[in-house]
């Protein structure tokens, strides 16, 4: 049975087409720890140095993979915290007071975020160990309060920019989404705040068509027409901005979209305060997408089966696709 929580596994494709080991970035949202405390705990764990980038941001240097970042996940506060003010100026004092009031109001609602550099996938077990350390120190996650709409995000590097490879991942994700979503048990607050809204049904049907293998411009254009937003469980905008920035800019003016050669998987909750929880649970479910995407014959058969299921109409009320996934479409990997 797949999805067994045995630590972070590895995908079947571990190298890019350039022969480099694939990497993955991890983002964790939490509260219960102040920015400085989270920075110190992480720096101590990985033997890093702390630089105070601003009042609400810390940069941790010294990791061969790159810099870690600890920040308050509130754009306005970060912008205010970067400004240099003369305390003797009355207008600056008033702005500082407003900033302090804003921070006070945000403390119970806005998470502190830990952002890793792109790590070799083999290092995910280290992040799992860090999670246990942060839990012991008092980190709180999604379920601690009703207002904690906190998530965990993965940014797995794409193995290739070939449109057939990217399309295979999207097809595999849509085929397995009902199973992944059922296992994720997303917190109601996060559902209501629409951080990871469902993909439109018309786009899913379009994407899982076994004959749909478009060139890259068509793949990106079709995605943008149906999904001009970052709020998807699998956000493709960072990758598509990396591959075709002008086309993405023509469909969305969202300046928060970061260009990077990764899938941006935003579905899982961050349940860092729950004993036994770790990133391996959601990561190992994501690996089912990796395995299905890397198996063309199984992917084609799964897409055809999912299309037949969606065509059943009344039959869909009698047969759950989740059951079909568990019975037929998961890999045999531990």
> Is residue 170 located within the same domain as residue 295?
yes
> Is residue 193 located within the same domain as residue 123?
no
d(CA 334, CA 329): 14
In a domain, 7, yes or no: no
In a domain, 15, yes or no: no
Q: What is the pLDDT of residues 278-294, one digit of tens each?
A: 999 999 999 999 999 99
> Is residue 173 located within the same domain as residue 244?
yes
> Is residue 178 located within the same domain as residue 127?
no
pLDDT of residue 93: 47
Q: Which domain holds residue 66?
A: 23-139
> Is residue 178 located within the same domain as residue 251?
yes
Q: What is the pLDDT of residues 194-245, one digit of tens each?
A: 566 789 999 999 999 999 999 999 999 999 999 999 999 999 999 999 999 9
> Is residue 119 located within the same domain as residue 163?
no
In a domain, 73, yes or no: yes
pLDDT of residue 313: 76
In a domain, 249, yes or no: yes
> Is residue 175 located within the same domain as residue 258?
yes
> Is residue 180 located within the same domain as residue 326?
yes
d(CA 260, CA 299): 26
In a domain, 151, yes or no: no
> Is residue 122 located within the same domain as residue 207?
no
Residues in the chain: 334
DSSP string covering 91-103: HHHHHHHHHHHHH
User: Cβ distance 55 to 78 under 8 Å?
Assistant: no
Q: Among 107, 102, 63, which residue's Cα sits nearest to residue 79?
A: 102
Is the per-residue pLDDT at 91 higher than 90? Answer: no
pLDDT of residue 111: 83
> Is residue 125 located within the same domain as residue 87?
yes
> Is residue 197 located within the same domain as residue 324?
yes
d(CA 61, CA 68): 7
In a domain, 145, yes or no: no
Half-sphere exposure of residue 126: CA atoms within 13 angstroms, side-chain side? 15
In a domain, 144, yes or no: no
Domain boundary among 108, 139, 170: 139
End-to-end, the C-alpha distance of the chain in Å comes to 7
Q: Is 109 helix (H, G, I), strand (E, B) or coil?
A: coil
> Is residue 176 located within the same domain as residue 313?
yes
Q: Which of 8-12, 72-76, 116-120, 128-132 has the least mean pLDDT?
A: 72-76
In a domain, 191, yes or no: yes
Q: What is the pLDDT of residues 114-152, one digit of tens each?
A: 999 999 999 999 999 999 999 999 999 876 554 557 889
Q: Alpha carbon of 43 to those of 69, 70, 219: distances in Å?
A: 10, 10, 41
DSSP letter, residue 316: H
Mean pLDDT of all residues in 303-311: 95
State how many domains the chain has: 2
pLDDT of residue 188: 58
* Percent of the chain's residues with pLDDT above 90: 72
User: Cβ distance 186 to 221 under 8 Å?
Assistant: no
């Amino acid at each position: 049975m797949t999805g067994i929580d045995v630590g972070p596994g590895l995908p079947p494709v571990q190298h890019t087409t350039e022969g480099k080991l694939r990497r993955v970035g991890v983002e964790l949202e939490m509260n219960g720890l102040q920015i400085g405390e989270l920075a110190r705990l992480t720096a101590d764990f990985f033997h890093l140095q702390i630089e105070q980038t601003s009042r609400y941001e810390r940069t941790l240097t010294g990791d061969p993979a790159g810099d870690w970042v600890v920040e308050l996940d509130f754009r306005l506060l970060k912008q205010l915290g970067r400004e240099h003010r003369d305390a003797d100026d009355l207008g600056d004092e008033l702005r500082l007071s407003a900033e302090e009031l804003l921070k006070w109001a945000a403390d119970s609602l806005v998470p502190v975020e830990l952002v890793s550099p792109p790590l070799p996938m083999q290092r995910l077990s280290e992040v799992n160990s860090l999670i246990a350390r942060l839990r012991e120190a008092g980190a709180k996650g999604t379920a601690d309060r009703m207002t904690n709409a906190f998530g965990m995000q993965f940014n797995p590097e794409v193995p290739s920019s070939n449109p057939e490879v990217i399309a295979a991942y999207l097809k595999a994700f849509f085929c397995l989404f009902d199973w992944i979503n059922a296992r994720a048990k997303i917190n109601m607050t996060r559902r209501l705040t629409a951080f990871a809204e469902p993909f439109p049904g018309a786009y899913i049907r379009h994407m899982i068509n076994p004959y749909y293998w478009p060139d890259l411009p068509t793949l990106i254009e079709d995605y943008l027409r149906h999904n001009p937003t970052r709020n998807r469980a699998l956000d493709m905008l960072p990758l598509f901005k990396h591959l075709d920035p002008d086309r993405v800019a023509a469909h969305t003016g969202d300046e928060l979209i970061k260009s990077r050669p990764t899938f941006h998987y935003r579905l899982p909750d961050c349940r860092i305060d729950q004993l036994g929880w770790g990133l391996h649970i959601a990561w190992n479910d994501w690996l089912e997408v990796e395995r299905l995407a890397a198996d063309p014959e199984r992917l084609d058969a799964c897409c055809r089966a999912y299309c037949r299921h969606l065509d059943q109409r009344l039959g869909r009320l009698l047969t759950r696709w989740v059951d079909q996934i568990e019975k037929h479409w998961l890999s045999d990997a531990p």
